[in-house]
């Protein structure tokens, strides 16, 4: 029987801990309780057949986890000075998809579009996001809507911090998804059909 994935905002303490545990297994990065349970943050899970298979956090704390994790301490003040006003930024953090589901195109597509929907509904004027994965950084760089704010090297890993405007978040994420599809299927006809379907000015 066909099962439709669901985007759910998680508020239950047990489910929040499950989110944090799986994210740690995927990334080796812990989520502090002060961040996980902060009422200013929204935690979203992607559920498929009642299993938590992915998720992300939209953060609205004045101190950004993105900068704390992906920039050296001595560089953080400079980065904050580059932001217009902290209240204008929503950060996307703790974005993950279970490894066993990353090649399932429909679930991958749903996860990325769910993030675009949440940003459109709950995000502020700008958003901030980062990664310590070169491949994910390259993926973010496939759309001109992602602007590299800072690059660093922490614990023997490269780190990247990006920012983007909320108004282009859906079309920007669609560009990333289309790039992923093209890389996976190498089919120009498939890409053309998706572009035709999503040729909407967001």
Q: What is the pLDDT of residue 80?
A: 95
- Whether 88 is in a domain gets the answer yes
Closest CA to 111 of 7, 4, 2: 7
The per-residue pLDDT of the chain, averaged, comes to: 86
Widest Cα–Cα separation across the chain:
54
Cα-flanking dihedrals φ and ψ of residue 159, to 5°? -130, 150
Can you tell me the distance from the alpha carbon of 86 to that of 107, in angstroms, rounded to the nearest whole number? Answer: 33
- Whether 68 is in a domain gets the answer yes
**Residues spanned by the domain of 106:** 6-166
- Whether 111 is in a domain gets the answer yes
The predicted model scores a pTM of 0.85
- Tokens coding 110: 């749903």
Averages of pLDDT over runs of 10 residues in the chain (202 residues) are 85 96 92 95 96 96 93 96 91 92 85 90 93 89 90 93 86 80 56 44 33
Q: Domain holding 116: CATH number?
A: 3.40.630.30
- Whether 198 is in a domain gets the answer no
- Whether 196 is in a domain gets the answer no
- Whether 191 is in a domain gets the answer no
Q: What is the pLDDT of residue 54?
A: 95
- Whether 71 is in a domain gets the answer yes
- Whether 119 is in a domain gets the answer yes
Number of independent structural domains in the chain = 1
């Amino acid at each position: 029987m066909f099962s439709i994935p669901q985007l759910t905002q998680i508020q239950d303490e047990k489910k929040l801990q499950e989110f944090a545990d799986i994210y740690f297994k995927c990334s080796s990065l812990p989520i502090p309780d002060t961040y996980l349970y902060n009422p200013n943050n929204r935690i979203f899970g992607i559920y498929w057949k009642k299993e938590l298979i992915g998720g992300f956090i939209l953060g609205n704390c004045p101190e950004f986890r993105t900068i704390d994790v992906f920039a050296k301490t001595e560089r953080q003040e400079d980065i904050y000075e580059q932001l217009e006003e902290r209240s204008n930024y929503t950060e996307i953090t703790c974005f993950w998809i279970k490894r066993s589901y990353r090649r399932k195109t429909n679930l991958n597509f749903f996860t990325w579009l769910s993030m675009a929907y949440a940003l459109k509904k709950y995000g502020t004027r700008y958003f901030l996001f980062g990664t310590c994965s070169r491949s994910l950084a390259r993926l973010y760089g496939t759309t001109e809507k992602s602007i590299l704010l800072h690059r660093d090297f922490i614990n023997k890993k490269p780190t990247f911090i990006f920012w983007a405007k909320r108004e282009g978040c859906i079309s920007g994420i669609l560009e990333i998804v289309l790039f992923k599809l093209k890389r996976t299927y190498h089919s120009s006809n498939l890409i053309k059909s998706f572009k035709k379907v999503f040729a909407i000015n967001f």
